Amino acid sequence: MVPVRYVIIGTGAVGGTIGGLLAADGHEVVLVARGRQLEAIRADGLEVWTHRGVHQVRPPVAAGPQELALRRDDVLVLAVKSQDTAAALADWADRPVDGGGTAAEDLVLVCAQNGVDNERAALRRFSRVLGMCVWLPSTYLEPGKVQAIGTPVAGVLPIGPAVTGSTTARSDARAIAADLTSAGFRAPVVEDVMAWKWAKLLSNLANAVEALCGTERDEAWRELAALAVEEGREVLAAAGVRPASPEEQDSGLAGFEMRAAPGRTRGGGSSWQSLQRGSGSIETDWLNGEIVLLGALHGVATPVNALLQRRARQALAAGRGAGTVPAADLLAALDAAS
């Protein structure tokens, strides 16, 4: 398979960076966005800042599948957050493809998302599903502009079949990886991409700490994050899940680092950005909530991740911005409940 056009479903920080850099490298791209982001890109294009330079691109943009005629050489890149996956899959699965068939039958779908449930949801509808582990420190806080602070590449994006052993899917992954590499990413094709995504999930358990407690990592912040990750490891061990080893991750991420942009403020990660923007939803139910779910299924108590999950929902419902809850208060709440 030689991809010709990438349809980026969800042009936020991750989707904007991936789609923007593919477009800047000369690949055919369609950006799917909504709200103020859609308006800004339609008016002025998309600005993508990386350490390699600033790219202003103007690929076609659509509000959804109803504005796009799908082609047989399209690759759908699902870059929405996990809470929006079900609606996106429902919107795109049965859209007709030029020449017959539907998107779910004929097109490659890449889950460029945190969490581990998106591939399962996609496989219920789509026949050609790839997973992507997203090590892409990027920010979208202003419509029409995204920034990625990874160096020497914008991000590290291990990619592979959602179901191991598929020769066709591995061929699809190799073709897409070549385009991503050309566009300024490191994109190794890995045998077990879900092992990588489970490892990334463990690191993402601290996203809720950052969203609730802010980006300044004091001793209480670090203790709370460490407790969440330790609890997550216990749950995965009980569930028989083997994440990618630290050695595998160190090899894949060798030399990759985050470096603050001169004169720019990144702020925090995706959950932090959700609270800060008042986006109306947050991904913690699919990150910390995944550990809570597995803990319930395998008889492991998960008080730390349950507390973070609950408090993140409450902060969102109350309209509070990021960094409004002291980490020490959350530790005290855990002590009081134990």
CATH number of 5-191: 3.40.50.720
CA distance 164 to 29: 28
pLDDT at site 3: 60
CATH topology identical between 5-191 and 205-337:
no
pTM (2 d.p.): 0.94
pLDDT at site 212: 96
pLDDT at site 169: 86
Evaluate whether the domain defined by 205-337 bears CATH number 3.40.1350.10. no
List phi, psi (to 5°) of 61: -130, 145
List phi, psi (to 5°) of 280: 95, -10
Nearby residues of 224 by Cβ (< 8 Å), 6 or more positions away: 209, 213, 304, 308, 327, 330, 331
Q: Which residue has the tokens 């985050």?
A: 258
In single-letter form, the type of residue at position 90 comes to A
CA distance 105 to 103: 5
CA distance 63 to 10: 10
Nearby residues of 270 by Cβ (< 8 Å), 6 or more positions away: 13, 14, 81, 114, 207, 283
pLDDT at site 2: 58
CA 310 to chain centre: 21
Nearby residues of 202 by Cβ (< 8 Å), 6 or more positions away: 229, 232, 233, 236, 243
**Per-residue pLDDT in tens (0 to 9) along the chain, 338 residues:** 556 899 999 999 999 999 999 999 999 999 999 999 999 999 999 999 999 999 999 999 999 999 999 999 999 999 999 999 999 999 999 999 999 999 999 999 999 999 999 999 999 999 999 999 999 999 987 999 999 999 999 999 999 999 987 788 899 999 999 999 999 999 999 999 999 999 999 999 999 999 999 999 999 999 999 999 999 999 999 999 999 999 999 999 999 999 877 766 667 888 998 888 887 889 999 999 999 999 999 999 999 999 999 999 999 999 988 999 999 999 999 999 98
CB 296 within 8 A of CB 184: no
pLDDT at site 268: 82
Q: Structural domain boundaries of the chain?
A: 5-191, 205-337
* Element holding 77 (H helix, E strand): strand 74-78
